[in-house]
């Protein structure tokens, strides 16, 4: 049989490849294709810390990502404290895009926090202002946002309805937290 001819290492590689292909087909890039009636991936962002604005189409209707647009998004979502950038998780960008679309689309989204460097995260922790030890901001998997013209409760409800990741509600601080971790709310 086929599996008997594979070494253990070959079997593991083949299994891993199958898992990756299954994930890509069910959750990855193809999960956001035009076939499902979703529009292109477009975000208009305003970084509240440095005043920068960006409007970028990062994915076309066929599910193809634009590397230059992703790099531009990575830069505007950088840590404002250290100016360090990271590759943001495509799933958090998709979550933010879908949340924006639930609110009518083409909103200018105010970024309160995107990527956080370990240095900045530790500073926040030392001041008792968040910055969890395992914060998804540290790996480019979380964004804190506000959208002018939409109250925070409405943003929270739109994001929760999608069930694409974590949704934190911080009305006193003026933002909603979105992340690409497991669905949960607080």
pTM across the whole model: 0.79
Confidence tier at 34 by pLDDT (50, 70, 90): very low
Q: Dihedral, CA atoms, 66, 76, 140, 155, nearest 10 degrees?
A: -100
Confidence tier at 109 by pLDDT (50, 70, 90): very high
Is pLDDT above 80 for 27? Answer: no
Q: Mean of the pLDDT values across residues 33-56?
A: 84
% of the chain exceeding 90 in pLDDT: 72
pLDDT of res. 37:
55
Pair 89, 141: CB distance under 8 Å: yes
Strand order of the sheet with strand 53-59? Answer: 53-59, 41-47, 108-113, 142-146, 175-179, 166-170, 184-185
CA distance 44 to 66: 15
What are the pLDDT digits (tens) for 55-96?
Answer: 999 999 999 999 999 999 999 999 999 999 999 999 999 999
Pair 149, 108: CB distance under 8 Å: no
Question: Average pLDDT of the chain?
Answer: 85
Is pLDDT above 50 for 179? Answer: yes
Between residues 12 and 143, the one the model is more confident about = 143
pLDDT of res. 14:
41
What are the pLDDT digits (tens) for 122-142?
Answer: 898 888 777 777 899 999 999
């Amino acid at each position: 049989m086929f599996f008997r001819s594979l070494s253990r290492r070959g079997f593991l590689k083949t299994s891993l490849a199958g898992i990756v292909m299954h994930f890509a087909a069910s959750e990855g890039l193809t999960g956001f294709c035009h076939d499902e009636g979703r529009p292109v991936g477009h975000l208009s962002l305003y970084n509240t810390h440095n005043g920068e604005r960006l409007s970028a189409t990062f994915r076309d209707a066929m599910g193809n990502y634009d590397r230059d647009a992703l790099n531009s998004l990575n830069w505007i979502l950088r840590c404002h404290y250290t100016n360090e950038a990271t590759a943001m998780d495509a799933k958090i960008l998709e979550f933010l895009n879908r949340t924006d679309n639930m609110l009518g689309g083409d909103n200018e989204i105010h970024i309160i926090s995107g990527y956080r460097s370990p240095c900045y995260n530790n500073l926040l922790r030392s001041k008792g202002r968040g910055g969890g030890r395992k914060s998804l901001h540290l790996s480019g998997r979380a964004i804190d946002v506000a959208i002018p013209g939409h109250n925070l409760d409405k943003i929270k409800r739109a994001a929760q309805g999608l069930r694409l990741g974590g949704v934190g509600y911080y009305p006193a601080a003026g933002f909603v937290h979105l992340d690409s971790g497991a669905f949960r709310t607080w």
